[in-house]
Structure formats: C-alpha cells, structure tokens
Structure 1
Amino acid sequence: MTGMDGNGRQRDLAERFEEHRGHLRAVAYRMLGSLSETDDALQEAWLKLSRADADEIRNLAAWLTTVVGRVCLDMLRSRTARREEPMDTYVPDPVVGSLDRIDPEQELLHADSVGLALLVVLETLEPAERLAFVLHDMFAVPFDDIAPIVDRSSAATRQLASRARRRVRGAAPVPDPDLAQQRKVVDAFLAASRGGDFEALLMVLDPEVVLRADAGALVGRGAATSKLVRGAASVAEQAFMFRQFAAYARPALVNGSVGVVTVVNGRPMSVTGLTIADGKIVGMDILADPERLAGLNLAVFVS
C-alpha cells in the first residue's frame, strides 16, 4: 500500500474487512446467540482493526477471528454478571428466512446449521468454555491461538473445550437433515393444531419433547409467559390451548431447519424453532418477546 493516502488505506482496509464479515458474523452469532450483539461485536472488531497497524498483520482472517473471539468473551462475561432470566426459558435470537429463497447473509449464518436447540445449550456454558468450543470445534481454530484469549495454557484450553463438548453432546439432538421431511412433520403439526386434534398432535411429538417459550421481560397474556414444558402430553396441551393462533402460523426457515412464524394482523406474535429427529418433534424453542421480535427481519412474513 505504498504511496496510498490515509483515505485510500482506510478504504482498502474496509474492503479487506468486508471480505471476512460473513465468517466473523457466523463466529460472533454462535458465541453470542444475539443478532444485535453480533453486530456490536463486528463493529468493535472493525474499530480495533482501523486503529491497528495493518501492515504488521500477517494473517488477517486469523487476527480478526481472535479479536472477535476476545470481544465476544468480554460481552459474555458482562452478560453473565447481569443476567437475571433463568436459562431454561431463554431462547436466543433466531435467524429467520423464507423457505422459498435464502439470501447470502442467511446462507452464511446457516452454513453450520446451528439450531436454536444447540444455541440454548451453548448458553449454559461458562464464557471461556463456550469460546473454546465454538472457535475450536466449529471453526477449527488451534488451541494455541485460543489460549491467549482465555489467558490459559493450550492444555487447559483443550480441557475447556472438552468439558463443553461433554455438556453439548446429547443435550442438543441432531435434527433430520432433509428439509422436505421436516416440512411434512411441521405441516402435520400445524394441521393437528388447527383442527384441535389432540391425538394427531401426540403422533408428531416425541414422548420426551421439550418446549421453551421465551416471552422476555414483558408479561404475556394469560398463560403466554415464559415457560419450560416437558413431555408430549403437556406440549400437546399447550398447542391445543393456543390453537386459535395456528391459522396464522406459516412454515419458515429458522436457523437452517423448518420452523414456524406466527403473524396476526401484521404483527409478529412468535418465531418457533423446531428440532425434528426421526420424524418427530423433539424440541420447540419459541421466541415471543415483542421487543426482540421487533428487531428481527420478518418483513416477508408480515406483508
């Protein structure tokens, strides 16, 4: 970049940053489970890059990944210190799109098919465990590069990831990969809900199904508060109770799997991430917090 003026250097640096934005966004989203915080983390990473001596950075992708990891770790620690909501009813921000078309940004975020169920489990990890697991297991960052971020030795960092891996394994069911098969199950669930057919609901629910409903800080109407429900009969009762809203539910792509968006009179009511394994719904993660729903890009479903 010899002979380039300051503005030219900044433009060149901005272009190089944009080349890595998709990857960095995927890292931050898996670290934070929050779309707004993901954007904040990327903004902070750009500010750090703009103040750095870029000529001294030999591997920009690795440098930026490390910076984003460190920023996210700080954000996670701050969040943990102030968190009040119980983790069993917290649902991370979903990435929602139409089943008919997927835009490039959604495609990048869906690249590893990170479901809401997995993000819920990641929320239960200690910040350093989550960092080690996400960077190493999801993005193949060497432990030697992760260790300085968490201020531990490589061996200790390896233990962090191993501990996280044990907690994640089995806690987040692996969904059926075929979207067409998922769609059949979702359509059957919606049909049973709309028809008030309790037995048909039980047929599509796994006996050990878990439902999380996160209505946020706002108290919902009646039974629509945040809750954790386990078991097919109890979950079917919830679906039966809210069957009047089933007519407004539309299948959607939610974190790489077929889920549901419910919009009533142009107002988003909920986004439901579904985990479908062996042809049954094993997990339902419902975000019904009006404030957080307002921050999602649901225009295609509202119009």
Structure 2
Amino acid sequence: MQNIPSVDLRDFLSDNPERKQKFVNEIGKAYEDIGFVALKGHFLDQKLVDRLYASVKDFFNLPLETKEQYEIPGIGGQRGYVSFGKEHAKGRKEGDLKEFWHFGQYLDPNSKYNKIYPPNVDVKELADFNAAGKETYKMLEKTGIYVLRALSIYLGIDEFYFDKYVSEGNSILRPIHYPPITDEPKNAVRAAAHGDINLITLLMGAQGRGLQVQNHDGEWIDAIAQPDELVINVGDMLSRHTNNKLKSTIHQVVNPPRELWGTSRYSIPFFMHPVADMKLNCLENCIDENNPKQFDDITAGEFLHERLVELGLIK
C-alpha cells in the first residue's frame, strides 16, 4: 500500500497549463501535509540506476584498508568515504549502523566555489564508480531543480527563484551501505530518527524496506515507492525558509526483522543544498497573523556548519 502521495513530473513538464498546475497543487499539498512524495517521470533511467548500484556494491566490497585511503581528514566527511558508525543523529550518542560515500558538486574551472568546496575524490580501483556517480548526480540535480520550480509557484514566488541558489549548490550524492547485523544492536539503528539538513532530498530506489516517516499524529508509516519512483522529501532548510509551511518530516531507517539481519541494505539519497551564502530567512509571504515568524535569520552555510557539529562529523 502506498502511504505517501505519488506525483508525476511529466505533468509539470507538459505544455498543458492545467496539468502543470495539477502537479504544483499535488506536490505543495503533500509537502504541507506529510513532507514526502513518490515521484514518477524523473530524469534517471533504470540502466543508470543499475550501473550505479553495481559500482556502489563493488566499492563497499573493497577491503577496509582500501576504502579508508579515501577517508579525507578535516572536511567533516563532505567528500569521499565515511567509515562505519561515524555519524549519529542529532541528540544521540550511538553511531548509525552504516558506512557511506559522498560525491559533491561538479564545478566549472572558473567557479568561485572551487575555493570553498572540497574537491571530489576519485576511486582508482573502479573507473565506472566515478563516472556513474557523476552522471547520476547531474540527473538528480536536474530533477530537483524542476521540483523546486513547482514549489516556487505553489509558494507564490518567481518560478525560477531557487535556480541561482542550487545550480552551484553544495549538494551531495550519498551511496550508503548498511552492512549485515551480526550482534544484537543495543540502541543503534541503521539511521536514527532525524530531519534532513538541506532543501530537498531525492532518494533513488532504496533496496529493501526500512524507511519510515512520522506523520502529524506521531505514528510511523512505511515510505514505500514503486520501482520507477523517487522518494522526495522536504529538508530543514526549506522548512525554515518557508516558515514551516512546507514540512521537514522526521524519518528513520529501522533494523530489519532478525531473519534478514544477514543481508546488506543499500540506499542512495541526493541531498540538494543551496550555495552557502543563500539567506534562509523566512519568506515574507509565508508569515502572517496565524503563522508568525518562527525562525531566526541565518545563511545556509551557517546552518550546515551547526548541523555537522550536531551530527558529530566536525568538532
């Protein structure tokens, strides 16, 4: 059973104004109600998804000492490899039961952000890991730009408002490996309950159940998408910028039933971030008598730094 609303990006991309508006209304309402949608009609094709998953499995199967060569000190895990148990949810001490990789923004040689963002890390052992990662990054970024355009219309601001902030944004593609569980986990789960930091998150084909979303009644529901759908949710930056009109929903990845402990789970989210100097101040047209301003002014870069400290990735 589908527990999160399903929308089709082809409606928004069509030349039919009614279909376009239908998409805007559906995704806007979903993000006000639950903060999650399943999206068909995106720019990722199945061949590319299969290619990346094959490369990701090959990478995580490399010997630990090989993977650890790609763990770059001093950058808060923003590029390259992050080893098992390093990250924890805000407010928790237990490390999540996962290891992961970060692909970052692909910049023009003349971009000013070359001095700000860490460079991408190439895996020498697996040429297609780098190539498939880059191609997937571009397709998910393109999809995300159209989703943000639809949300801009819904919010009553210029359709292309977010373009200038995300086209060189500090977005991250994160292949995650949740290894088989070998011992009874004390308090740790694969990913503890959390809200995402960024504007929106696009999740491609999570393999195996486990992702759960908390609704407004505090109940956990399974976020189940069809094989051709992306799961896309609102992050804390967008929630803050819209004065909580669009909801950043708490979600988690729970441990599987004991009979499935011996299996790995793979997941590849794309965290869409703006440039660091974007102001996340509450939009004027999201503030009124019934919804007074809820958040202090802050830039995206300042907010990201705060959260990376809370996650234990930087001191």
TM-score of the pair, normalised by structure 2: 0.29
Which is greater in Rg?
Answer: 1
The two structures have a TM-score, normalised by structure 1, of: 0.30
Higher relative contact order (CA 8 A, sep 6+): 2
